[in-house]
Amino acid sequence: MSKPRVIITRKWPEAAEAEAKKLFDVQLNKNDHPMTVAELQEALRTADAVCPTVSDTISAEVLSAQPLKCKILGNFGVGFNHIDLNAAKERGIIVTNTPDVLTDCTADIAMTLMLMVARRAGEGERHVRNREWTGWRPTHMMGTKVTGKTLGLIGMGRIARAMAHKAHHGFGMKIIFNDPYPPPKEIVDNLKAESRNTMEDVLQEADFVSLHCPGGKETYHLINKERLALMKPGAFLINSARGDVIDPKALINALKKGTIAGAGLDVYEGEPKVQEEFLTMNNVILFPHLGSASTETRVAMGMRAIENVNAYFNGEKPRDRVV
């Protein structure tokens, strides 16, 4: 029996691509270019499965491709707000994601953003590289202590819990959170975490606020002018979730006016475009969506996407099905 034809939309780590070649008749994106709407539609017309990434907008327009051959979208990533799930469902296309395997690395990035913005690490590194440093002095480039401070988490899913573990057990931070679906009591107890009734309660109390909620219509511009105004003037906002959770204009204004002390961003609304004003600010750490960017994790994500697609073609239920 012939192998299923699978199109992988972006370049994957070599080990994951090699595994895909063993199992499928696979088409790779060797020059790693972002696929156009027309190319994505052609993929849906000609492949049994397509493996997109967060950089591929699988819209209703893309999913309207005729005739449709694709039966499953094996998404490379845990987030799937770049896929029109309703349109996929209407067309009878299964959608899977890759949870679990990127939890620790994304939490590591959230911690890195928090530490860097608090201690002015990006600014300091540029200071040295630009040969501006004239030597140690007592008042030079003072930042904010992290150990012992209060970390507020908006959302308490896998990545938030991993960050909370590192922050509490590694840095002695007090953990507070708001989530409509709180984790089991034993997890909360292990972290000595405290639930707050509303997001606003977290924003008012925390020294650092880290966002761990999904993207989409329900969370679009969740952090806006009014909610930023609730934060302490010395507080910092961290986002390793999805860019459109924050209203960027409101954040820029809050940073300019000193409403909050700083921000650490790994994701952006409309990425890869980044609002120009962020680029000139020293109180913002800017990463290029590095959340899962370790070799180990990206290989594991590819393997998980392959596992889901392979399970489907073997007549089994993919374990990470979202539609």
CA distance 169 to 179: 21
Return the structure tokens found at 272.
């890869």
Residues noted as catalytic: 242, 271, 289
In the chain, what are the domains?
A: 5-101+295-313 (3.40.50.720), 103-286 (3.40.50.720)
CA distance 185 to 195: 11
Are 102 and 301 in contact, with CB atoms under 8 Å apart? Answer: yes
Q: How far is CA 143 from the centre of its chain?
A: 26
* φ, ψ (nearest 5 deg) of residue 77: 145, 155
Name the nearest CA neighbour of 161 among 172, 173, 175.
175
Is pTM beyond 0.85 here?
yes
CA distances from 132 to 123, 126, 141 (A): 11, 9, 12
Return the structure tokens found at 56.
């591929």
CA distance 10 to 31: 8
Which residues fall within 8 angstroms of residue 21, CB to CB, at 6 or more apart? none
Q: What is the pLDDT of residues 126-149, one digit of tens each?
A: 999 999 999 999 999 999 999 999
Per-residue pLDDT of the chain (323 residues; tens, 9 = 90+): 799 999 999 999 999 999 999 999 999 999 999 999 999 999 999 999 999 999 999 999 999 999 999 999 999 999 999 999 999 999 999 999 999 999 999 999 999 999 999 999 999 999 999 999 999 999 999 999 999 999 999 999 999 999 999 999 999 999 999 999 999 999 999 999 999 999 999 999 999 999 999 999 999 999 999 999 999 999 999 999 999 999 999 999 999 999 999 999 999 999 999 999 999 999 999 999 999 999 999 999 999 999 999 999 999 999 999 99
CB count in 10 Å sphere of residue 218: 8
Q: Where are the alpha helices (DSSP H) in the chain?
A: 14-23, 37-46, 85-90, 103-118, 121-129, 158-165, 171, 185-190, 199-205, 225-228, 248-257, 276-279, 295-313
Return the structure tokens found at 81.
């707000």
Which residues fall within 8 angstroms of residue 152, CB to CB, at 6 or more apart? 176, 177, 178, 196, 202, 203, 205, 206, 207, 208, 209, 210
Q: What is the pLDDT of residues 199-241, one digit of tens each?
A: 999 999 999 999 999 999 999 999 999 999 999 999 999 999 9
Q: Give the angle subtended at the CA of 115 by the CAs of 112 and 119, to the nearest 5°.
A: 140
- The beta strands (E) that lie in 212-300 are given as 236-239, 262-265, 284-286
Name the nearest CA neighbour of 231 among 272, 253, 256, 261.
261
CA distance 130 to 288: 22
Q: Terminus-to-terminus CA distance in the chain, angstroms?
A: 27
